[in-house]
């Protein structure tokens, strides 16, 4: 009976230290994240706009290209099957 009681007390103590351990790990994670965020070099407004426009232009060009290829392949399959 004494063994069961001591094991329960031991588990309760372990769970408390486990929670404290997780809290300290979480605190350490946020502290390290804050240090890393300070190292980040953010792009300027001009760089952000320039790269955003470049992405949009590339998306439009690729959409047109894939649309033309799809249309061409559709017509080719229709020709073959008819």
pLDDT at 17: 76
Sequence-distant (≥ 6) Cβ neighbours of residue 51 within 8 angstroms: 43
- Please tell me the distance from the alpha carbon of residue 11 to that of residue 42, in angstroms, as a whole number: 48
R_g of the chain computed on alpha carbons: 31
**pLDDT tens digits, 25-82:** 999 999 999 999 999 999 999 999 999 999 999 999 999 999 999 999 999 999 999 8
Per domain, the residue ranges of the chain are: 1-40, 42-82
82: its two tokens: 């008819």
What does 22-33 look like in DSSP terms, one character per residue? HHHHHHHHHHHH
Residues 51 and 43 sit within 8 Å (Cβ to Cβ): yes
């Amino acid at each position: 009976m004494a063994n069961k009681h001591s094991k329960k007390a031991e588990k309760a103590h372990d769970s408390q230290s486990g929670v404290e351990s997780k809290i300290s790990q979480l605190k350490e994670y946020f502290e390290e994240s804050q240090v890393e965020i300070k190292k980040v070099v953010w792009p300027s407004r001009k760089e952000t706009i320039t790269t955003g426009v470049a992405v949009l232009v590339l998306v439009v060009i690729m959409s047109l290209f894939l649309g033309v290829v799809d249309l061409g392949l559709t017509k080719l399959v229709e020709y073959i099957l008819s």
